[in-house]
Chains A and B, each alone.
Chain A
């Protein structure tokens, strides 16, 4: 089956660090995406992990453990503009590539 779990909401303070976790159960797993979606807008690509480990890209880092079916997105030096939904998505290749999206984690950054 295909299933992705991530927390519904998180709140953090400006300047702090926040970690958004995601667990997945995906047949034909190929890789793990993170997207950012501001209210009323389409998602924008943040990261893509295929191999185990941490990938850092500026203030954002993403981690993957394929054996545990686990990923997290780490946001450092939080800014107010980081308030958005963060979508965890698993890429699957079962008779064609498909991406399965989680419900998203709404992050509220407060001053």
Chain B
């Protein structure tokens, strides 16, 4: 159990375009979903916490107008990187949890902005 999927796994796009990443919990209903970004050889950096039906809580330094998060249901959250630039190239990982329990991570999405 506790499977989280992410789509797409790879994205290459031109600078200025928007990219949407989906995160789904396949076999459980997640009260909370998290979005992380990870640069090579660095730790996971939490971007935002998302609860179903409410606005996401963004971490300090993360622009909410640039990284749009929608948590439409207990099994789906989306992250849209608007007007992507090369510095947004990174490994984006979502996770889903049932409160205080372990977070279960999706396989991640590699974004390369040219």
Rounded to whole angstroms, the CA-CA distance of A104 and B32 in the bound complex is 24
B102 touches A33 (CB 8 A): yes
A43 touches B100 (CB 8 A): no
A101 touches B107 (CB 8 A): no
The A-B contact count (CB < 8 A) is 46
Q: Which of A64-111 contact B (CB under 8 A)?
A: 87, 91, 93, 96-104
Chain A residues with CB under 8 Å of B42's CB are 103
Q: Check A60 for interface membership: any CB of B closer than 8 A.
A: no
B100 touches A91 (CB 8 A): yes
Report B55 CB to chain A, min CB distance, Å.
13
Chain B residues with CB under 8 Å of A99's CB are 34, 46, 103
Report B85 CB to chain A, min CB distance, Å.
23
Rounded to whole angstroms, the CA-CA distance of A70 and B101 in the bound complex is 20
A102 touches B93 (CB 8 A): no
Number of interface residues of B (CB under 8 A): 21
Interface residues of A (CB under 8 A from B): 30-31, 33, 35, 41-45, 48, 87, 91, 93, 96-104
Interface residues of B (CB under 8 A from A): 2, 32, 34, 42-44, 46, 49, 57, 93, 97, 99-108
The closest CB in chain A to the CB of B36 belongs to A101
Chain B residues with CB under 8 Å of A101's CB are 43-44, 46
Rounded to whole angstroms, the CA-CA distance of A72 and B2 in the bound complex is 25
Identify the 8 closest CB pairs spanning chains A and B, nearest first.
A42-B105, A103-B43, A42-B108, A101-B44, A45-B102, A42-B93, A43-B105, A42-B107
The closest CB in chain B to the CB of A103 belongs to B43
B32 touches A97 (CB 8 A): yes
Q: Which of B43, B97, B106 contacts A104 (CB 8 A)?
A: B43
Chain A residues with CB under 8 Å of B100's CB are 30-31, 91, 93, 97
Q: 30 A-B residue contacts at CB 8 Å?
A: A30-B100, A33-B102, A33-B103, A41-B107, A42-B93, A42-B105, A42-B106, A42-B107, A42-B108, A43-B44, A43-B105, A45-B102, A45-B103, A45-B105, A48-B101, A87-B43, A87-B44, A91-B100, A97-B32, A97-B97, A97-B100, A98-B46, A99-B46, A99-B103, A100-B46, A101-B43, A101-B46, A103-B42, A103-B43, A104-B43
